[in-house]
Amino acid sequence: MSLIGRSVKRLEDRPLLTGSGRFAADITVPGMLYMRIVRSPVAFGRLAGLRIAEALAHPGAVAVWTAEDVADIPPIGFRMTLVPGLEPYRQPILADGHVRFVGEPVAAVFAADPYTAEDIADLVAPEIEPLAPCLHPAAPPREYAPGRSTEATVIAKAYGDLDAAFAGAHAVVVLELTIGRHSGVPLETRGAIAVPEADSGILRLYGAAKVPHYNRQALAAMLGLPLDRIHLHEGHVGGGFGIRGELYPEDVLTCAAVMRLGRPVKWIEDRYEHLVAANQSRGSVHRVRAAVDEHGLIVGLDDEFWFDQGAYLRTHGVVVADLTCAMLPGPYVIPAYRSVGHVRLTNKTPCGTYRAPGRFEASFVRERLVDAIADRLGLDPIVVRRRNFIAKTAMPFRREFSALGTEIVYDTGDYAGLLGKFLNRVGWETLRADVARRRQAGEMIGLGLGFFVEKSGLGPFDDVRITLGGDGAIEVITGAASVGQGVETVMAQICADGLGTGLDHIRVIHGQTDRIARGMGAFASRVTVMTGAAVTIAAAKLRDRLLAEAGRLLQTAPDRLAVIGDRVVVCDAPSGPSLDLAAIARSAGGELTADATFTAEHMTYPYGVHLAQVRIERDSCAITVERFFVGYDVGRAVNPMLVEGQIAGGAAQGIGASLLEEFVHDASGQPQSVTLADYLMPTISEIPTIEVALFEDAPTPLNPLGVKGAGEAGIAAAGAAIAAAVDDALGRPGAVRQLPITPNRLHALLAELPAEQH
């Protein structure tokens, strides 16, 4: 029986369930120093100096660094969307000349224990002349630095004759929409433990996540180290969501400290630091308009938006704005289109990517617009969607621009078919009837829907090595990373399926730069697509070599042999002569190995629909998500249970982003969301059972498994669906134009209702 398509329980969970997980904070070695970061208390100001004499005089102080001490280390570079001219906006590892956000590192303190390091850090006094901060991305640009504007760049994507579309339109629908700032807030904060290896001279950095191989290369270049003198190691990771595992100033500082101080250095972020210094995302303002005909067909779409990048451009460059522009058309034809994204620097925490970057925002904007079109023309929103869908027969469907350096070509899809199947599966007519009945009884209850197209499987390559050892153990070594998505289970399933073995003897190695030369890590929902395809190819190669060696030993043609469990048998005589895998490996010199690389020029494009049912309490302005459904076509599910788990986790984050989570600042730029009492996250009380309808109707031809990614499916259209459901409950189409829908914002919407509706 094929292992692909089976809901195998996660292989990586035993140490986590038995308390033997090894996270960054668990790593301690003898002679370790602890680093504490001194951070700016001011959003924007001239850094005149730092008083450090008292800190240096502390008996526990090993070192106190300011920007002058690390002046030879360059700012952190870009990993993605390499747009020329952005280098002046990079973040230095310690502030120099100016501070640009509350939480920016201005000094690093080193001591023999973490408590002493914190005491010493309190003695460092930054001398800052406050300046008026820039806080709103849509405000007129200002001077960032001499000759540099706070508008770092403008991303634009367009095709078709937009002027003609609007000139001939039956109606023009215009909206202004706002998405608040929020972030992934993983259970485990950031951590970096740098350890010098005396015998080899290698610097090892533990606590890595997401992109260990890239960060290794970047650190080596920044610190002037030969590449073979530094390795990164991933352990267990308490969530990633796009924000953990990028290269931050603290990672560079710990490695530099090892090189200069000659001792291991450990840094673990506290929650306050995480909420003011780790990557945030989303914050943007959109002014969007659509030209439509009398049937609701969108003939032109024009979107201009302002993205709140924060104080610096970090490793992602302008990827969020790029993806917003590229993915906003979603599942609809839209014959004429333009999107212009202004990347604006403000005096807030710098932004990066967070689960479904650009797509959460774009789906909210696009689906709000579709609902507004339906209201304007008096049409059913589902009818409007169906009329605008790209047809199944039009696949593959090309957009006239690229995203993340690759052309956008939707590989496969049947959007109308998925919507029809999904509505049948959830009992749409029954849901509507039940909502109508409850409204008659006086409840404020509503249904809302949002459709989305995702992107996944970003190339350009993934490498894999599979080795069968003389003890019968099989190692799958990959440059992918695990951030909780079940990498070990899925890769073991694919390997076992390709070889014909069971899962018992397969061990998946990931996130270790000393075990494989190259690796792309885990982001952009790429691992199952790219790494899985490489494992498929390598497993086929290893099986061929295994059967060839077994054929030599059994004096039988390889095509008459099969792998069953841990043995090779003769197909037409399975109870006859056979060999165990370990013996075959030993006879081949101790082990059998197969390497494979999978390359891809185009991404895959899964798609789906979210449906929310919400209830509003008039008195408290509370919004309860009673039911939340996700329909998703993943192409082919290697492990359906894990796909559903990914979707449920993303939906929980989407509910938080829609109703609760937001980073806010006062007029001076001071962040007001610096604890988990202020930055509100959903608990089990706010999250209903996520009901998932998984479909496999549109496998992709772009990889040997036909799989598409699943990591971001649960969050992509959550904001759109919940906003539409709140509109429906209020009986006011188009009421929600800002996320999150906080109680204060809902109160304002309720106040606008006619008196008889209160």
pLDDT digits (tens, 9 = 90+) for 488-545: 999 999 999 999 999 999 999 999 999 999 999 999 999 999 999 999 999 999 999 9
Residue 582 lies in a domain: yes
* pLDDT, averaged across the chain: 96
Of 552, 569, 599, the last residue of a domain is: 599
Whole-number Cα distances in Å, 603 to 152, 207, 318, 578: 28, 29, 19, 43
pLDDT digits (tens, 9 = 90+) for 259-285: 999 999 999 999 999 999 999 999 999
Residue 150 lies in a domain: no
Contacts with 557 (C-beta within 8 Å, 6 or more apart), sequence order: 551
Which CATH number belongs to the domain containing residue 47 in this structure? 3.90.1170.50
Mean pLDDT (whole number) for 319-331: 97
User: Quick check: 758 pLDDT over 60?
Assistant: no
In this predicted model, which residue has the larger pLDDT, 574 or 111?
111
What are the tokens at 708? 């598409």
DSSP secondary-structure letter at 756? Answer: G
The residue among 132, 75, 82, 80 whose CA lies nearest residue 104 is 75
Of 542, 570, 599, the last residue of a domain is: 599
How far is it, in rounded angstroms, from Cα 463 to Cα 521? 11
Whole-number Cα distances in Å, 218 to 88, 196, 213, 278, 516: 18, 18, 9, 19, 17
Residue 516 lies in a domain: yes
If asked whether residues 82 and 213 sit together in one domain, one would say yes
If asked whether residues 348 and 302 sit together in one domain, one would say yes
Which CATH number belongs to the domain containing residue 704 in this structure? 3.30.365.10
If asked whether residues 123 and 229 sit together in one domain, one would say yes
Of 599, 617, 647, the last residue of a domain is: 599
Domain span at residue 476 reads 459-599
How far is it, in rounded angstroms, from Cα 171 to Cα 64? 64
Residue 561 lies in a domain: yes
If asked whether residues 584 and 473 sit together in one domain, one would say yes
> What is the per-residue pLDDT for 81?
77
User: Quick check: 757 pLDDT over 80?
Assistant: no
pLDDT digits (tens, 9 = 90+) for 142-164: 999 999 999 999 999 999 999 99
Percent of the chain with pLDDT over 70: 99
> What is the per-residue pLDDT for 573?
84
User: Quick check: 668 pLDDT over 80?
Assistant: yes
> What is the per-residue pLDDT for 96?
96
If asked whether residues 295 and 416 sit together in one domain, one would say yes
pLDDT digits (tens, 9 = 90+) for 717-756: 999 999 999 999 999 999 999 999 999 999 999 998 776 5
User: Quick check: 372 pLDDT over 90?
Assistant: yes
If asked whether residues 410 and 374 sit together in one domain, one would say yes
> What is the per-residue pLDDT for 612?
98
Asked if residue 268 lies in contact with residue 27, where contact means CB atoms within 8 angstroms, the answer is no
Q: How many CB atoms neighbour CB 536 within 10 A?
A: 22
Sheet holding 125-130, edge to edge: 98-99, 45-51, 125-130
How far is it, in rounded angstroms, from Cα 327 to Cα 475? 38
Domain count, the chain: 3
If asked whether residues 698 and 723 sit together in one domain, one would say yes
If asked whether residues 691 and 748 sit together in one domain, one would say yes
User: Quick check: 641 pLDDT over 60?
Assistant: yes
If asked whether residues 615 and 571 sit together in one domain, one would say no
pLDDT digits (tens, 9 = 90+) for 221-244: 999 999 999 999 999 999 999 999
Mean pLDDT (whole number) for 636-642: 98
Q: Specify the residue for token string 């005096």.
A: 347
Residue 367 lies in a domain: yes
If asked whether residues 390 and 500 sit together in one domain, one would say no
If asked whether residues 574 and 610 sit together in one domain, one would say no
> What is the per-residue pLDDT for 99?
98
pLDDT digits (tens, 9 = 90+) for 1-10: 689 999 999 9
Residue 469 lies in a domain: yes
Model confidence, pTM: 0.96
Whole-number Cα distances in Å, 409 to 103, 321, 329, 333, 530: 41, 19, 13, 13, 17
Residue 370 lies in a domain: yes
If asked whether residues 55 and 199 sit together in one domain, one would say yes
Residue 693 lies in a domain: yes
pLDDT digits (tens, 9 = 90+) for 497-507: 999 999 999 99
